[in-house]
A and B are shown apart, each in its own frame.
Chain A
């Protein structure tokens, strides 16, 4: 079945460091891919998405490119801030299951000043 695998956390970085959170997926067909972010005490917020191969999603300085050849959708940011501390979830749309989302386990990011 379809699945999402993302790197184990926690990830701890200093402010202004470069961030990469790896995400790979297994899917039949052509899913849409998403990154969600969950700040402490809150629900999940859509951070960015890509709907087809080679699409690049971007928002708030974060980027991810839909790579079909490597079945990956890695999240990157050039210079993280303390306010980026949160849990990040990679997800794909399961078109075989009425479009339900399949989530990775989440990666906790802590950014130190």
Chain B
């Protein structure tokens, strides 16, 4: 499945580092999402972009900074993270112009470990 790709797949960073996660979708979709998946917690929606405009920010701490330069690319810039930010970060995309089509397509995720 190469419709939604994410890099890197694994990332270890210290609390003072700055890093970025990248997501790219090859499906012609116009909406993109960032989710956080922690052990034993429900999937958490972080950000939503539709046609490059941010339409949702679910009270995410400012140490997470999203960027969506176009409908195919989505970034998550990370700085001064905390150990509790260690999780699997999932990107997804959707075609919002298709009537009655609400399914999202996910990338493989980036496993982030903050030390």
Which residues from chain A sit less than 8 Å from chain B, CB to CB? 32, 34, 36, 41-46, 49, 51, 89, 93, 95, 97-101, 103-106
Alpha-carbon distance between A93 and B1 when the two chains are bound, in angstroms:
23
> A49 — nearest CB in chain B belongs to which residue?
B103
B90 with A43: CB separation less than 8 A: yes
Alpha-carbon distance between A101 and B45 when the two chains are bound, in angstroms:
9
Q: 18 more A-B contacts (CB under 8 A) besides A34-B103, A105-B42?
A: A36-B106, A41-B108, A43-B108, A43-B109, A44-B90, A45-B106, A46-B104, A46-B105, A89-B43, A93-B102, A95-B102, A98-B48, A98-B96, A99-B96, A100-B48, A101-B104, A106-B42, A106-B43
A42 with B109: CB separation less than 8 A: yes
Which residues from chain B sit less than 8 Å from chain A, CB to CB? 1, 4, 6, 33, 42-43, 45, 48, 50, 55-56, 90, 92, 94, 96, 100, 102-109
Most chain A C-beta atoms within 10 Å of own C-beta, residue among B33, B50, B100 = B100
Given A32-B102, A34-B103, A45-B1, are A98 and B56 also a contact pair (CB < 8 Å)? yes
Alpha-carbon distance between A95 and B50 when the two chains are bound, in angstroms:
15
Offer 27 A-B interface pairs, CB within 8 angstroms, sorted by A: A32-B100, A32-B102, A32-B103, A34-B103, A36-B106, A42-B108, A43-B6, A43-B90, A43-B106, A43-B107, A43-B109, A44-B90, A44-B92, A45-B1, A46-B103, A46-B104, A49-B103, A89-B43, A95-B102, A97-B56, A98-B48, A98-B50, A98-B56, A103-B43, A104-B42, A106-B42, A106-B43
